[in-house]
A and B are shown apart, each in its own frame.
Chain A
Amino acid sequence: AQSVAQPEDQVNVAEGNPLTVKCTYSVSGNPYLFWYVQYPNRGLQFLLKYITGDNLVKGSYGFEAEFNKSQTSFHLKKPSALVSDSALYFCAVRDINRMNTGFQKLVFGTGTRLLVSP
């Protein structure tokens, strides 16, 4: 079964510095990978996805993520953090292989809290 690991419960970064939120995955076939952000008392907001193609994916609000097949990772990055980026970030995966091309549920990581200090 597919799984996602977010090894850091919390990431602290100063405003203006680059940020990285880590995500590794495990699938039996090809991964479809997604990043979402959740602000307090809100639902999840889609940031970006990797389906196929370029390993560097650009998304909303200046975020990007790098797909690394050999390391089975999909780390979220931003060159310059903002205080308003402080939120809970979730990585999610769908496991796609020739046996299950129908709808596949999203499997989420446990989330990483990002705190950006002024």
Chain B
Amino acid sequence: KAGVTQTPRYLIKTRGQQVTLSCSPISGHRSVSWYQQTPGQGLQFLFEYFSETQRNKGNFPGRFSGRQFSNSRSEMNVSTLELGDSALYLCASSLDGANNQPQHFGDGTRLSIL
């Protein structure tokens, strides 16, 4: 069974641009969560989607948005990029987001802002 797939693996952008990251969950998984990982702030929760609906959101500005499609694939968008958005963005999936389920992570997209 294929794991969580994130594309692209690496991305370089400049300030002010926008970016879209993609995540394909494990087959059959309907809950997708996004995290930002930086050396200074560690792992921080961005948002979680289930059945195309955002169920939970972390403390990030409105420049960070996401969506989920009917096949459970998810995209994350960051607009008006800032230098501080440089990070590893991780996507994780689980069957239905139940609290006793572990999340399964992709290898991430490393975003660098110049």
A residues with CB within 8 A of B: 32, 34, 36, 41-46, 49, 51, 90, 94, 96, 101-111
Indicate if B13 sits at the interface (CB-CB under 8 A): no
By the criterion of a CB under 8 Å from any partner CB, how many residues of chain B are at the interface?
Answer: 25
Interface of B, helix, strand, loop or mixed by DSSP: strand
A111 pairs with B105, CB closer than 8 A: no
Partner of B99, one of A32, A41, A45, A109: A32
Closest Cβ of chain A to B64, distance in Å, is 15
B residues with CB within 8 A of A: 4, 6, 31, 33, 42-43, 45, 48, 50, 55-56, 58, 90, 92, 97-100, 102-108
Closest Cβ of chain A to B94, distance in Å, is 10
B100 pairs with A32, CB closer than 8 A: yes
CA separation between A108 and B58, bound complex, in Å?
Answer: 13
Q: Using Cβ atoms and an 8 Å threshold, which residues of chain B touch A49?
A: 100, 102
CA separation between A45 and B55, bound complex, in Å?
Answer: 24
Closest Cβ of chain B to A113, distance in Å, is 12
Q: Using Cβ atoms and an 8 Å threshold, which residues of chain B touch A42?
A: 107-108
